[in-house]
Structure formats: C-alpha cells, structure tokens
Structure 1
Amino acid sequence: MRIGVVTFPGSLDDVDAQRAVRIGGNEAVALWHGDHDLQGVDAVVLPGGFSYGDYLRCGAISRFSPVMTEVIEAAGRGLPVLGICNGFQILCESHLLPGALIRNDHRKFACLDQRVRIENNHTPWTSSYADGGEITIVLKNGEGSYVADTETLDRLEGEGRVVARYVGENPNGSQRHIAGITNERGNVVGLMPHPEHAVEDLCGPGTDGLGFFTSLAAQVLS
C-alpha cells in the first residue's frame, strides 16, 4: 500500500508517521501542503504537530491548504484518511468529521502513555485490533478535548462511530472520554493519541500503535 503523509508548515510528527507506515509494511509517500496531486496514493495520513503555529484555531489554516482540497475530494470517494492529533483537528476544521477539539480542561499540555479502548474495529485503520481491545499509545496535546453538541454525540454513539475511548482518568476533558471518531462511511478516522509513537519496542510504550498502520493491507488481503 502507498500511504501519503502530508507535511504542513509546523508539522513535527510527519517523519514519525512515515516511519510507522514503513514499519507497518507500506510505502510512505511524502506529500507537501502545497501539492495539488496526491500522487495516486492508496490512503493519506495527516500527522500531528502545530500546523501554521496553531494560529486562529488548531488546523483552521491548514484546512485551506491546496492538498486538503484533494484530500477532501478523495475522502468523498472513499479514500482512507487518518488524522492524528493536529490531523484530527484539521479533519474537524475541514468538516470531514463533526465536532471540534478545544483546550484541555486542566489548561495544561498533556504528555503521557495513555490507555485506550478500541470501540470500532470496522474501519480501514482499526481492523487489526480486537473489538473492545485495550492498547497503550502516546498522548501529547494541549487542545485535545473533543466536544460536540448532544445530538452529534448521541449520533456518534448510536451509529458506532466512536473509534477509540480513553480508559481510566480522562486526560483532557474530552466529552464521553472520546479519543477518536470516524465519519459515516467509515473511511475517515480522527485520533487524538499518537499510534505512530508506539510501533517499536525500543522507543515508546511498546508496539500497540502498529495496528493502525497494518490494518489497511490486512483488509486488502482479506
């Protein structure tokens, strides 16, 4: 699988995401925010970081990058898209996902190994996990609290579109302990924690995040 990883000005986890893509057995394709061509990739990852310095709102400027015009159109055709941390914020700003990410309720930057439960393993990004399985991956954010109106939250719950949920103490005040969600079609996933930092035993809390980067190929083979 050829998976494109977009670099925006201020991205800082793009190289980590590319490495995770390769460790997961895929080809990593570097995409630039100014690109008008997705280079025929099979999927796209929007990585974490501080695109455009988080000015205005996190992800608000990146949403208008030329590459996002292509990503939005391709996602509408079913292209798998994964937004991690800042990438999740960009997906919400692009209206590919509902809701928003706001300042952590404790007003501090959070950086820890976080326990997460996989609530939906039917997406292209989570099929390698057991439904209800718990994993430990890295969480690092200042604006990681997921919020939406009650109707939206109820719809996400009722349609099984909560992909991942925090286990134990809520690290950022995210409503209903939501760590990740998907769109109605299931091809677009936003995740606040960082699976790309948990793909090797040498670095990070283990390899629990690797499933996000092996799931695509596993679905094709099945």
Structure 2
Amino acid sequence: MHAAIIQFPGTNRESDMAAALRLATGREPKMVWHAETSLPSGIDLVVLPGGFSYGDYLRAGAIAAHSPVMREVAKAAEAGTLVLGVCNGFQALCEANLLPGALMRNASLKFVCREVKLEVVSADTPFTRLYGEGEVIRTPVAHADGNYFADQASLDRLEGENQVIFRYAEGTSPNGSQRDIAGICNARRNVLGMMPHPEDFTEEAHGCLDGLRLFKGLAQALEVAA
C-alpha cells in the first residue's frame, strides 16, 4: 500500500496517521501539501487527517475543500483510488461533495474529546473488511463540529444503499448526529469519511488496538487488488 497524507494549514493529526499507516504497512506515507496540483505517482490510498484546516473559518473543512490538491483527490476517487477522511478530513470530503451531508456544531456546542463506542454497520468495504458486521469497537473522538446532518431523503438513501459504515453505539454519541451516524462511504465504496480517530487506537501503549484493523484491512485489500 502506497499512501499519501494531505496537509492543510491547521492540520495537526498527520503524524498520528503516518504512524498508523507505517505500523500497518511497513511503508512511509508521503506528505502532500494542500497547494500541490498533483499527487505522487503510484498512490493507492489518499488520507485527509484531522485538525483544524484554515482554523475552521466559514465552516469546518469548507476552505480546505477548495485547495488545489482537492481537485486531484476528486480525480483519484473517481478513478477508484481509496480515500479516507478522518474528523476534519471527513468535514472536507463533505464540503467537497465527495460525500453527502455536512458536519455541524456539536449539539452541546462544546468541543468533545473522549472515547466512544462504534458499531460497524457494514463490513463490506476495503476499510472495514477485518471487522465483523455489528461488532462494537472503541475509538477516540476530538471535535467541535461532528454533528452529521443530511435531509431525510439522503439519510434514507444512505441507509438503503448500505452507505452508513459506522454508528455511535450504546448511547455514546458525542455530538447529536442524525441516526447516530459516525461514518459513511460513497456509492462506489472507495471513499470513507468518519469522525472518530482509528489511528489513535493502533498500539499497545494506546490501551486499545481496535483501530489497527482498519489500516491492516486497507493494506490487505490493496494487496488482493494488485
């Protein structure tokens, strides 16, 4: 697996993401600055990590969505390249219309940083292939704008087409997301956005390894496809 991590002004979780990818694949991911107009050759995974791109001005992820590199991310997604957006990356994917809906201010109007439980709603993606459908896993969250919103028709379509991938479980939703949605994918199932941070539960020192399977599953999926 050859991964690229996109960096915007205000990104602050790229090192955590790089460590998780390195652990799962044994390869060093490439860092790509937001002003670049091309992606490195041979990339089969693009990651938009967490942080506060452009200080979350206008809306979280709204300015990042118009960075030059996002045109290349959109082209890569259209060509079938896997794209993962975590937290601020999820916000940017929605703002760039690579995923439906929007991430709004938490219902509490407060920044939330804690562990939550996630139900794996669908294991039928390259991102979730090492989880069991219906399995409940642990992940941390750290966000102020994680309240997923879409109109009812879009929500019904996401549910009906099996595009809801993660849901906050056991009453642990930290933000008021509609239908407890924590992560969704596109219709083609190669673009995933999620608010929780799987990269921070990948080592024994983290106290949990539930996030590691996401990255190992990606590596395996790409090996099979190669």
Q: TM above 0.5, one fold?
A: yes
**Aligned residue in 2 for 1:101:** 103
2:82 matched to 1:83? no
Q: CA deviation at 1:221?
A: 3.9
What does 1:37-186 correspond to in 2, within 5 Å? 37-40=38-41, 41-169=43-171, 170-186=173-189
When normalised by structure 2's length, the TM-score is 0.95
CA apart distance, 1:26: 4.7
Stretches of structure 2 that go unaligned for 5 or more consecutive residues are: none
SS at match of 1:44: strand
User: Following TM superposition, by how much is the alpha carbon of 1:36 offset from its aligned partner in structure 2, in angstroms?
Assistant: 1.4
Report if aligned partners of 1:128, 1:218 keep a CA contact under 8 Å in 2: no
1:72 match: secondary structure: helix
| Equivalent AA in structure 2 for residue 39 of structure 1 | P
Map of 2:6 onto structure 1? 6
* Aligned-pair CA distance for 1:165: 0.3
Match of 1:219 among 218, 221, 226: 221
CA distance, structure 1, for counterparts of residue 9 and residue 78 of structure 2: 25
2-structure distance, mates of 1:180, 1:126 = 11
2: distance between equivalents of 1:133 and 1:168? Answer: 12
How many residue pairs get aligned? The number is 221
What letter corresponds to residue 81 of structure 1 in structure 2? V
Tell me the CA shift for residue 73 of structure 1.
0.9
Query: What is residue 192 of structure 1 aligned with on the other side?
Result: 195
Q: CA deviation at 1:100?
A: 0.3
The Cα offsets for residues 70-92 of structure 1, whole Å up to 9 and x where unpaired, read as 00111011110000000000000
For residues 26 and 194 of structure 1, the distance between their equivalents in structure 2, rounded to whole angstroms, comes to 20
Q: Which runs of 5+ in 1 are unaligned?
A: none
Q: Secondary structure at the match of 2:114?
A: strand
Identity %: 48
User: What displacement does 1:136 show?
Assistant: 0.3
